[in-house]
Amino acid sequence: MAEAKNMVYLALQNNEDARGIIEAIEEDNPHAEINHFPAMVKIDAKGKLVVNKATVEEKIGREWDPQEIHVSLISLSGNVVEEDDSFAVVRDN
Amino acid sequence: MSKKLNLRERYQRMTRDLAWEPTYQSKKDIYPQMDFEGIKIHDWDKWEDPFRLTMDSYWKYQAEKEKKLYSIIDAFAQNNGHLNVTDARYINALKLFLTGVSPLEYAAHRGFAMVGRQFAGVGTQVACQMQSIDELRHVQTQVHTISHYNKYFNGFHDFRHMHDRVWYLSVPKSFFDDAMSAGPFEFITAISFSFEYVLTNLLFMPFMSGAAYNGDMATVTFGFSAQSDESRHMTLGLEVIKFMVEQDPDNIPIVQGWIDKWFWRGYRLLTLVGMMMDYMLPKRVMSWREAWEIYFEQNGGALFEDLERYGLRMPKYWEQTIEGKDHISHQAWSIFYNYTHAAAFHTWIPEDEELDWLSSKYPDTFDKYYRPRYEHWREQAEAGNRFYNPTLPMLCQTCQIPMGFTEPGDPTTIGFRQSDFEDNRYHFCSDGCKDIFDNEPQKYCQAWMPVHQIYQGNCGGATVPEVLDWYHLKFGIDNFDYADSPDRKNWQAWKGLGDEAGADQEGEAAA
């Protein structure tokens, strides 16, 4: 069995819409590992990955609703925690 | 809606508050399928939606996705995007996907409409309604892609008809029919959890990345657009499992049984994807083995560790998939190479450079078991003895794949199991498939087995051309090796690649 312990991930399209989101994730989740695939960016981390509304807005220079992530999200792993100002996947065992 | 409502309140108003307590009819009569599977639900309000998406936001974001998608599909068609794929050989992967998987999207649309009607909780109903609409969108976008490729390549012309008849398409078809003929709780465990959450990443992520790598923008676009809905579907699957096991401890063994069954069903189905990844992409992103390690061993492993607290364990026979990852794609391609005269796509022996890639990705098995086989077949073909298997294969009664998988621990012996039920004997490729049958023999003894049907005279006749005619496949055009196909001839002419003259402008695909 490969290393499994409480890994989570977010996979996003590799396009203009998602770029700000990816940069925000990178900034707010220093423990995350960013993996590039053709047309797709997969971000892996232990325990938790959070996307903060404020950071994304700073990157893209406009208001951003965390539910907009639906347009760019390809896949995820973890328990989803959806709030007004953030979107996260968590696995806390 | 007032701007002041936060996410939770908006969700409460726009979803939960849509329900009402019935007074003229009993709940039992309104939701007649809630009891027979043995699942006990005490309080539907305990259902926790992971995505608090309301219908108004749903339409907004889906419309945005659609706008993007169709502008790319339009641009692809206007710019003859099909000419930019790496090689026409690649199109065969697409043939398998669009004839095998796209009809499943439609089946999922129907399935979620059906179970959404049956569940007695409003949160679940709304989630199923959204998924039902998503799946309809997916099949529509894929039909647009079929429509474009059908103008230029063979094998796409009658995908609906083929899905109900062609021998290997019975593998995906029977998978979904099996789920849809189960009860609502089993259906949603099968599709939302075992398929969407545990396995669908293996279908979409490596394969769509592969499509991108091979210049197929139309497929990447529908693929990732569909996948963006998938993350909602996956979380629905996880929520369903947690909800059922939290509602009553009696549900745990039932749910575990379904996880065992549907993991194995899905694993067998995904053999076709493994074969696409390892053999059908001219430019390859990762091997099946690597994909299985990332998406099942690592990701699935983390998931099941997480589920231990609910009393659930890894699906039965998962260990066999760890051994199988080194074998199944090679075994499946070998089967199709044997039977490509009866298929709607073409096969080939990998080029030397591809054999080397397979050797490097499968260091423990490829050179020992599979490379010599391909080299032998290639030698025979070059000597004018291209081997097509003239005998119809024995099929596994459960997964319906020809019996070509080997025994765990013994890759030179074909796996074989059997069970007697009433006055008949049934055959299986594995312990996993046999267990599924033994648990519900009265269901699986009714399976429509393509080979049995041919031998019983129900498929147009006793010869390959007659059966292909009944499938609506064109003998000599849709089938046989890629090297001799009209697809290749057209491609060479369109791309100005040498000696092949005389292709039609629109190809010979106008069937």
List, for residues B393-414, the tens digit of each pLDDT value: 999 999 999 999 999 999 999 9
Nearest in space to B227 (alpha carbons), one of B209, B242, B214, B239: B209
How would you classify residue B457: left for phi > 0, otherwise alpha for psi between -120 and 50, otherwise beta?
A: left
Compute CA distances B434 → B261, B400, B491, whole Å. 10, 12, 45
Residue numbers in A near B230 (CB within 8 A): 74-75
- A11, with CB counted inside 10 A (0-12, 13-18, 19+), is buried
Supply the range of the domain harboring residue A72.
Answer: 7-90
Residue B1 lies in a domain: no
So what's the pLDDT on residue B3?
62
Q: Report which DSSP code applies to B392.
A: P
Chain A residues whose beta carbon lies within 8 Å of the beta carbon of residue B54: none
Please give the tally of structural domains in chain A. Answer: 1
Candidate from B52, B213, B302 with C-beta closest to A7: B302
Q: Which of B15, B193, B228 to mutate to test the interface with A (most CBs of A within 10 A)?
A: B228
Structural domain contains residue B428: no
Q: Which domain does B82 fall in, by range?
A: 7-31+55-326
Domain count, chain B: 1
C-alpha distance from B404 to closest chain A C-alpha (Å): 26
Closest chain A residue by Cα to residue B284: A38
Binning pLDDT at 50, 70 and 90, where does residue B507 land?
very low
Q: State the pLDDT at residue B227.
A: 81
pLDDT tens string B71-116: 888 888 999 999 999 999 999 999 999 999 999 999 999 999 999 9
Chain A, nearest residue to B196 by Cα: A75
pLDDT one-digit tens code per residue, B127-144:
999 999 999 999 999 999
Each residue of B132-175: pLDDT tens digit?
999 999 999 999 999 999 999 999 999 999 999 999 999 999 99
CA B154/CA B345 separation, integer angstroms: 8
Q: Answer whether A6 sits within 8 Å of B220, measured CB to CB.
A: no
The CATH number given to whatever domain includes residue B178 is 1.10.620.20
Where residue A75 sits, what CATH number does that domain have?
Answer: 3.90.56.10
pLDDT over 70 for what percent of chain A?
95
Q: A55 lies in a domain?
A: yes
Q: Quote the longest CA-to-CA distance of chain B.
A: 78
Q: How many residues does chain A have?
A: 93
Residue A44 placed within a domain: yes
pLDDT digits over B321-348, tens only? 999 999 999 999 999 999 999 999 999 9
For residue A4, give the nearest of B68, B210, B301 by CB distance: B301
Is B433 contained in some domain?
no
> Which candidate in B201, B225, B289 is best for mutational testing of the A interface (most A CBs within 10 A)?
B201
State the residue for tokens 């749910």.
B255
Q: Which chain B residue has the Cα nearest residue A9?
A: B299
Residue A1 counted as domain residue: no
The alpha carbon of residue A19 is apart from the nearest alpha carbon of chain B, in Å, by 16
In a domain, A34, yes or no: yes
What radius of gyration do chain B's Cα atoms show? 24
pLDDT at B5 over 70: yes
C-alpha span between B461 and B416 (Å, rounded) = 29
Instruction: Please check whether residue B316 lies inside any domain of the structure.
Output: yes
Per-residue pLDDT for B47 more than 80? yes
- Chain A hits for B291, CB-CB cut-off 8 Å, are none
pLDDT at residue B415, as a whole number = 97
From the list B182, B150, B75, B222, the residue with the least C-alpha distance to B508 is B150
Indicate whether B499 pLDDT > 80: no
Residue B509 pLDDT > 60, yes or no? no
Predicted TM-score (pTM) of this structure: 0.93
Residue B235 and residue A8: Cα distance in Å, rounded? 13
Question: CB A74 to CB B205 under 8 A?
Answer: yes
- Amino acid in position B100: G
| Residue B184 is assigned to a structural domain of this protein | yes
Residue B221 or B307, more confident:
B307
Is B217 contained in some domain? yes
ipTM above 0.95, yes or no: no
Angstrom distance (rounded) from CA B315 to CA B438: 17
Average pLDDT, chain B: 92
Would A26 be classed as within a structural domain? yes
B181-211 tens-digit pLDDT:
999 999 999 999 999 888 888 887 777 888 8
